[in-house]
Amino acid sequence: MTTGRAHPQAEAERTGFLRPPSFSLSRPNKAREKMTCHSCRIECRKFGKTRKGQQRYRCSQCYKTYSEPRNEYLGGMYTAPEKVEGVINLLVEGCSIRSIRRLTGIDQNTIMKILVFVGHRCQRLLENKCRNVPVSDVQCDEIWGFVGCKEKHNRTGNPEFGDAYCFVAFERASKLVLTWHLGRRSTRDTEVFIEKLNEAASGKFQIATDGFAPYFDAIHMSLGTRVDYAQLIKV
Ligand SMILES: [Zn+2]
């Protein structure tokens, strides 16, 4: 995949302003100037380049060849930051992993690695930034999904398989997601979720959930008198 972006300096001369640098994902290792033979412990000489343009070296004693280490970027991956950026954009658009593979030619496992890596970073960002947010009206709901197979067909005995519910709490007016929790639709997971909400939201507010019973005790326990609580049951 190529980007049709002009050189920043050339573009600055053409348009009159310098584009702010795109967010820096890269942390390239500084290419080593010298290469020592692993067996002879002597300095190797430059010996052409690989097909991908990396410098090769050859030991003048044992004739073993080496190439310079590849640049590692985001999360120890070798994929160039522009490509990673493209994958993230497609994931955010809701493209499937397989369709991204077809569009970009990047391996499915790499896409999944990027997804997990970016997910963890986003989680950390939300947990660090979304704390003690003053809110007035919060709504909670669960999104159903499943891991591996649906609960009914789960014969693996693996507790990680089956139904998975993503609890989401958001401010009704601004649609800001305050917190979320992934788990089962159980009392314990509801309590964990409401406790997370307790840390994310501050002040006295109004809260509305669906008719799921464990909410009542969990909200009473974690949020106490801080909230006005109502259940919204659709008929
Ligand atoms: Zn050698």
Q: What is the pLDDT of residues 2-15, one digit of tens each?
A: 444 555 555 545 55
> 44: CA distance to ligand 1 center in Å?
8
Say if residue 137 is in the same domain as residue 106.
no
Say if residue 140 is in the same domain as residue 209.
yes
Say if residue 136 is in the same domain as residue 225.
yes
pLDDT of residue 18: 47
Report the pLDDT averaged over residues 78-94: 91
Asked if the structure places residue 209 within a domain, the reply is: yes
> 31: CA distance to ligand 1 center in Å?
20
> 50: CA distance to ligand 1 center in Å?
19
Domain of residue 118: give its range: 77-128
Say if residue 104 is in the same domain as residue 176.
no
Q: How far apart are CA 191 and CA 221, in angstroms?
A: 8
pLDDT at 75 over 80: no
pLDDT of residue 159: 82
> 126: CA distance to ligand 1 center in Å?
51
End-to-end Cα distance, the chain: 51
Rg of the Cα atoms in the chain: 26
Q: Using an 8 Å Cβ cutoff, are 192 and 181 in contact?
A: yes
pLDDT of residue 10: 55
> 30: CA distance to ligand 1 center in Å?
23
Say if residue 118 is in the same domain as residue 185.
no
Helix 81-92 × helix 97-104 angle, to 10°: 140
pLDDT of residue 142: 93
Report the pLDDT averaged over residues 27-53: 79
Helix 187-200 × helix 214-222 angle, to 10°: 40
Number of domains in the chain: 3
Q: How far apart are CA 71 and CA 29, in angstroms?
A: 6
Which of 32, 51, 72 is the last residue before a domain boundary?
72
Asked if the structure places residue 8 within a domain, the reply is: no
